[in-house]
A and B are shown apart, each in its own frame.
Chain A
Amino acid sequence: MATGNAIDPIHQFIVAPLAQIRIGGIDASFTNASLFMVIVLLAITFLMIVGTAQKAVVPGRLQSVAEMSYEFVASTVRGTTGTEGMKFFPLVFTIFMFVVFSNVIGIIPYTFTVTSQIVVTFALAALVILTVIIYGLMRHGTHFLHLFVPSGVAPALLPFIVLIEVISFISRPISLSVRLFANMLAGHITLKVFGAFVALLLGSGVWAAISPLPLLGIVALTAFELLVAFLQAYVFAILTCVYLNDALHPGH
């Protein structure tokens, strides 16, 4: 946009290498994205290890956060896939915690939002879909392909239905990853643009009088972003469960 770096809402998403590492011609540099992934992992590990270390009957703050997150994900998995789906609980819990911590840490100013990168969200979505496909084929063999062939359809229509079902299946990882990525990206750009409004209004004479308005907007938007951060992690987790449910019980 403008020349000054104050009014560049995209700048916050630039992945910059902090330490150059090359392994066999592949750029494996330690970037700011890697740094924040490590921070996210450390925060989750800290919460889980320190939170569950005491094993108090009446939980303290950390312990109740750890227990609440466990209960929340466990009830989501059980409610969507049944008790059978609990074997996927570690996967869903890992994804949920990673997404929720990345989103929330990203709201803090001067941090980097890992989930605002389509590479990261698509890698998570691809992991989910590959798990669904591989587990479905392993467990049900060719019966898993009944997912694409609904029963009771006129034979003349079958090719079209199968095509639509295939497109619908392929669209799942796309929608899963783009939803999370786009929400984070759009939210952070909006915050930045509102911040630029404040700066521009302050520097424009009489109009400085209305500069508190976008500032109030930022306060409201930050609260909204916090809601979206949790909501998107929840949606990601519940859709993971829904797709895993297809792998467990295809041909519903």
Chain B
Amino acid sequence: MASEDRRDGEEDQAMKARLEALSAALDRRQHDQADRVDAEAANLRTGRAMSLGFRVLSEFVAGIIVGALMGWQLDAWFGTKPVLLIIMTMFGTVAGFWNVYRLASAPTGSQGGGTRPK
């Protein structure tokens, strides 16, 4: 009887030790997974930020370039050499700022819904 009790106690202890080891492993695994999700989220954020940066830069520059080109061509048509180029470049710059403002006021991410102020 006594020896059986002792054996039960040993089994219990072995079970407890195993349980602890398992839960520790589970914790570690969940922790790893959480870390990985965090890293993925960080990567996603970096990607979003970079794509937004590329967009802001190119939209701004494109506005100025289009304005300048339009002014240049209109000058050639009307023979008003530098006047329209200067004016249209200014308008192009405003359009560039307007592009950036629109980007900033409604970020069109996947959850942005695509509504933009007009």
A→B interface (CB under 8 Å): 75-76, 79-82, 147, 150-151, 160, 163-165, 167-168, 170-172, 174-175, 178-179, 182-183, 227, 231-232, 234-235, 238-239, 241-242, 245, 251-252
**Residue pair A235, B96 in contact (C-beta under 8 Å):** no
B→A interface (CB under 8 Å): 47, 50-51, 54-55, 58-59, 61-63, 65-67, 70, 88, 91-92, 94-96, 98-99, 108-118
Cα(A172)–Cα(B96), bound, Å? 10
Identify the 10 closest CB pairs spanning chains A and B, nearest first.
A175-B62, A79-B110, A167-B95, A171-B62, A179-B58, A175-B58, A171-B66, A174-B62, A168-B95, A245-B114
| Cβ contacts under 8 Å, B94 to chain A | 164
| Cβ contacts under 8 Å, A151 to chain B | 118
**Residue pair B63, A79 in contact (C-beta under 8 Å):** no
Most B CB within 10 A of own CB, among A81, A82, A179, A251:
A179
Cα(A182)–Cα(B116), bound, Å? 27
Cα(A231)–Cα(B29), bound, Å? 31
| Cβ contacts under 8 Å, A178 to chain B | 58, 61-62
Asked, given contacts A227-B47, A242-B108, whether A164 binds B91 with beta carbons under 8 Å apart, the answer is yes
Asked, given contacts A171-B95, A175-B58, A175-B61, whether A235 binds B66 with beta carbons under 8 Å apart, the answer is no
